Amino acid sequence: STLPACLLLALMLLGPALSAQDERGLIFNLEAGELCLQSDQCKSGCCHRVNGLSLARCAPKAAEFQECSPKSIYGVYYKCPCERGLTCDADKTIVGSITNRDFGVCRDPQDSYRR
């Protein structure tokens, strides 16, 4: 009977956080600087860590000409992915992703057509 009580408590705590789409929650819609485990938790869509020993925090996405990482399935980045409309010109090989060296620079794909 402890399991249903724990489940009920979890639902009571998570319910408001999950239902408040526009409001900041306990687990989702986190602001820049707040601790995170996955990028899906952050309003910006980037859960960032400085190195392997640091805690991950929500951070803004990379702007044009800033360093970036291609979108990944891992959910935590050393360099945030690019803002909407920009592409991350990076080493997208499997070796680059395994060694955490798949960083690049955000570029506007429209710029190549203007030259």
CATH number, position 56: 2.10.80.10
Residue 22 lies in a domain: no
Nearest-angstrom CA–CA distance, 42 and 48:
10
Is residue 18 classed exposed, middle or buried when 0-12, 13-18 and 19+ CB atoms within 10 A define those classes? middle
Global pTM reads 0.68
* Domain interval for residue 55: 27-109
Give the pLDDT score at 63: 97
Residue 1 lies in a domain: no
Residue 5 lies in a domain: no
Number of domains the chain is built from: 1
Residue 100 lies in a domain: yes
Q: State yes or no: pLDDT of 115 exceeds 90.
A: no
Residue 114 lies in a domain: no
| Each residue's pLDDT tens digit, 20-75 | 444 556 789 999 999 999 999 999 999 999 988 999 999 999 999 999 998 877 78
Residue 73 lies in a domain: yes
Residue 54 lies in a domain: yes
Residue 45 lies in a domain: yes
